[in-house]
Amino acid sequence: MAMSPLLFIVFLLMLLEPCSSSRSNVYIVYMGERHHGLRPELVQEAHHGMLAAVLGSEQAAMDAILYSYRHGFSGFAAVLTGGQAARLSDWPGVVRVVRNRVLDQHTTRSWDFMGVNPSPSGGGILLESRFGEDSIIGVLDTGIWPESASFRDDGIGEVPRRWKGRCVAGEKFNASNCNRKIIGAKWYVKGYEAEYGKMNTSDIYEFMSARDAVGHGTHTASTAAGALVANASFRGLAKGVARGGAQRARLAVYKVCWATGDCTAADILAAFDDAIHDGVDVISVSLGQAPPLPAYVDDVLSIGSFHAVAKGVVVVCSAGNSGPYSETVINSAPWIVTVAAGTIDRIFLAKIILGNNSTYVGQTLYSGKHPSKSVRIVYAEDISSDNADDTDARSCTAGSLNATLVKGNVVLCFQTRAQRSASVAVETVKKARGVGVIFAQFLTKDIASSLDIPCVQVDYQVGTAILAYTTSMRNPVAQFSFPKTIVGELVAPEVAYFSSRGPSSLSPSILKPDIAAPGVNILAAWSPAAAISSAIGSVNFKIDSGTSMSCPHISGVVALLKSMHPNWSPAAVKSALVTTANVHDAYGFEMVSEAAPYNDANPFDYGGGHVNPNRAAHPGLVYDMGVSDYMRFLCSMGYNTSAISSMTQQQTTCQHTPKSQLNLNVPSITIPELRGKLTVSRTVTNVGPALSKYRARVEAPPGVDVTVSPSLLTFNSTVRKLPFKVTFQAKLKVQGRYTFGSLTWEDGTHTVRIPLVTSQTQRTQPLPQQSPGSGFSGGSGAGAGAGLFVVAPPASAIDAAGGGGGGRRWLLRRRRRGRAGEGSDEGIGAGTRRAATSMRKRREEKSRFSHLVFWKAESNCHKVKPTN
């Protein structure tokens, strides 16, 4: 029987395919929103039938498929060749076919610092939400250690009847490991094993179950919803009551990351699908992909979170740890709550006592055994190995030091642009059998987790003084004291150095990050299976830093908000967080951003500001929106209309307008290219008292006139939602850099603030003369100066701060606002240099040393493999 020409061509293509694209990889076939009329099992059958048609048999399809996404959306992950993937991409109903990607993980005082504690008056978000009772937080991470005291279910009621999830058994984990706190636990490894081969747990200490072998997932879960644990500490540091934000919230654990530090897209998307089906209220995701970022329609976190938000689930993600560079923020889709990291008012200080009796203070987390007597100090550059560069040796880069000269000594290292990590320096010295490290660096509160040998981090000023002593003495020696926990003396919050900054590289007209939360030196539960060092072994609680730690703080706050306001949309929840956030520190001054040197923080550092949970519970007004608004946003990004329709299962006709992104109803306004005059629109919904009047107050970005119309919004029982317009008029010919301001609606009780961000570009014609309009016009205000806290504390500081009085506090509290440019220059103790500087001097230093801003931060405590 003769073969038809068409079948002959298909046969030839099948023969040629192995030659041209025979290498198999994991691909995700995304088919958009699941048809509501189809049961999940029928969707799965359709996936198998479709794949069988391409692969040639049902058995081949069964062997190739890893996951069938059939609950929150439709699609599947399968092992395919490039040719097979290309054929599937042309299949009717297929939105996208993308390669499996590997994503990275991004780590108690913090809740008290944010004011989330029972109020004596009976008010506050914690009591009003009943401690987050029955909210369900889904955590996509490395799993959980269920035996931790942070996951006890004392005082928690029965599992909510709406819950559809379950506990999946596995290695050293079964259904009995769940309780009324941990109500779900699943694990996903098919995507990982398809990329890297079968997991070899004999080489990698890992559990083929939801049990956490890394610690990261246990830390994030307990931060969001851990129970009260008395006398918790990390080897005696930060001792006190550990607790999560939403203590009566439930946890659903989705293990998608493994001990290697890798988390694959196929596994993550499967976890999103299950979490949506299971009935979580919040999804907390402390992981992401480093820049360059894929398009939103190709990014699994954007896709999975889109479908979650469409079902009313709030998705909270970490902003990334690539700061302080601009345009490094990740997880930047407008439907995601993207979280930056800030500091809290706690620090761990130790003394360095030199042989000449000079004493300096630095930071350390080392609380192990110290040498009983003073030890010789050597300067790293003076003991470099034969082939090492001086710069590498100075920063104690791996292999840069002469091991013979290191042995038995304390090594003084200086941070350089090439090597910024104290952790690397510690490892270098430890391998050479040194007994300690003094690491001089820019001023930061993120402390390297040095646990095998002591490492004291100091600023450059102290480091330089110790270097002068070391080079001038024949036998320079030093001794370290044990660290002490100092609380309440620090100016906070500040934006952490490592926290990724905006603007978004994908959509610069959408302000990212959205919000900042505590993410530096956070104490939370840890997995005992994750040995933190060869000398110490396992711990039950650990101090860690990163946007991985700030993310679950916001997830916990969201759980509290959802308990109070179960009908709020994800956009309303985000708006409540952003519009009520703090942009000043605890002493009333504008927040600063850790950098080199320090800068005034701006919305690209913290979004709306540092979270204020109690104010977020009663925001007054919210900037609300839904799926149709996000569809218009996707249209404005230039994505294919049919792809958007498949993604949302709603017929979409894209009508591109220049301002379509600018008019997305987010709680901020960002104009990357302001030319002349531009008007954008927003709508607010009243969630406060029905009878309310709000008046606009504007702080315009420098060089821009801003007018709001109308400037008065009046709500009543029938009018709950009102639109307004904001007009921006550029006053400069060309500027080329971002400037910042704000728009605030006030009713005498509520303050609803959004950031204004503009960057002016060259106008095509001169500005016409403008007459005053009828709307409210705001001008640019002058900032008041403030002195900084001291850089180099005196040696007596620890004793003074930790005792019952007598000494001055070494971290100087900045004075209340005074005249512009005025700063505090108060001395703080005998023999202490005047180290406080005025705002004017800070600005001069910023100008003189602006090149230092471009140092890339490396989070000392956040190595992706095996943990961060």
Which of 272-286, 463-477, 487-501, 637-651 is least confident?
A: 637-651
More confident residue, 376 or 861: 376
- Please confirm whether the linkage preceding 292 is cis (ω < 30° from 0): yes
Give me the mean pLDDT over the 430-440 stretch. 95
**458-481 as b/e: b if 16+ CB within 10 A:** bbbebbebbbebbeeeeebbbbbb
Answer yes or no: is pLDDT of 853 > 60. no
Q: Extract the tokens encoding 46.
A: 């359709």
Just list the catalytic residues: 141, 216, 548
Give me the mean pLDDT over the 187-214 stretch. 91
Which of 185-199, 374-388, 637-651 is least confident?
A: 637-651
For residues 102 and 426, what is the distance between their CA atoms, to the nearest angstrom?
A: 29
* Alpha-carbon torsion (798, 804, 806, 808), positive or negative: positive
Amino acid 418: pLDDT: 59
Which of 303-307, 466-470, 789-793, 840-844 is least confident?
A: 789-793
Give me the mean pLDDT over the 449-468 stretch. 91
Residue 696's SS3 state is strand
**Long-range pairs for 823-831 at CB < 8 Å and ≥24 separation?**
823/785, 823/786, 823/787, 823/788, 824/786, 824/787, 825/787, 826/787, 828/790, 828/794, 829/794, 829/796, 829/797, 829/800, 831/794
Report the run of H or E that residue 393 belongs to, with start and end: helix 390-394
3-state SS of 632-648? HHHHHCCCCHHHHHHHH
Whose tokens are 């003073």? That residue is: 374
For residues 824 and 473, what is the distance between their CA atoms, to the nearest angstrom?
A: 36
Which of 79-88, 346-355, 413-422 is least confident?
A: 413-422
Answer yes or no: is pLDDT of 522 > 70. yes
Give me the mean pLDDT over the 159-186 stretch. 97
Amino acid 457: pLDDT: 94
More confident residue, 298 or 825: 298
Polymer length in residues for the chain:
868
Amino acid 303: pLDDT: 92
pTM of the model: 0.80
Amino acid 536: pLDDT: 66
Amino acid 14: pLDDT: 42
User: Domains, the chain, ranges and CATH?
Assistant: 5-99 (3.30.70.80), 104-343+494-618 (3.40.50.200), 346-487 (3.50.30.30), 665-765+772-778 (2.60.40.2310)
For residues 110 and 108, what is the distance between their CA atoms, to the nearest angstrom?
A: 5
Give me the mean pLDDT over the 771-779 stretch. 31
Amino acid 114: pLDDT: 75
Separation in Å, CA 362 to CA 120, 351, 359, 371: 37, 6, 10, 18
Q: What single DSSP character describes residue 431?
A: H
For residues 789 and 792, what is the distance between their CA atoms, to the nearest angstrom?
A: 9
* Alpha-carbon torsion (642, 647, 651, 655), positive or negative: negative
Closest to 288 (Cα-Cα) out of 862, 861, 857, 860: 862
More confident residue, 143 or 32: 143
Q: 617-643: per-residue pLDDT in tens?
A: 999 999 999 999 999 999 898 887 877
Amino acid 658: pLDDT: 58
Q: 68-118: per-residue pLDDT in tens?
A: 988 888 899 999 999 999 999 989 888 889 888 887 665 456 767 677 776
Q: What single DSSP character describes residue 139?
A: E
Between the CA atoms of 470, 471, 473 and 475, what dihedral angle is there, to the nearest 10 degrees?
A: 60
Whose tokens are 């889904």? That residue is: 138
Q: What is the largest CA-CA distance in the chain?
A: 104
Q: 734-749: per-residue pLDDT in tens?
A: 667 899 999 999 999 9
Closest to 308 (Cα-Cα) out of 332, 336, 334: 336
Give me the mean pLDDT over the 14-26 stretch. 57
**Number of neighbouring beta carbons within 10 Å of residue 783:** 13
Let me know: does 68 contact 74? Beta carbons within 8 Å.
no
Let me know: does 354 contact 477? Beta carbons within 8 Å.
yes
Answer yes or no: is pLDDT of 538 > 60. yes
Q: 399-411: per-residue pLDDT in tens?
A: 999 999 999 999 9
Strand ranges across the sheet with 621-622: 621-622, 677-686, 721-730, 704-709, 776-778
Percent of the chain with pLDDT over 90: 59
pLDDT band at 784 (very low <50, low <70, confident <90, very high): very low
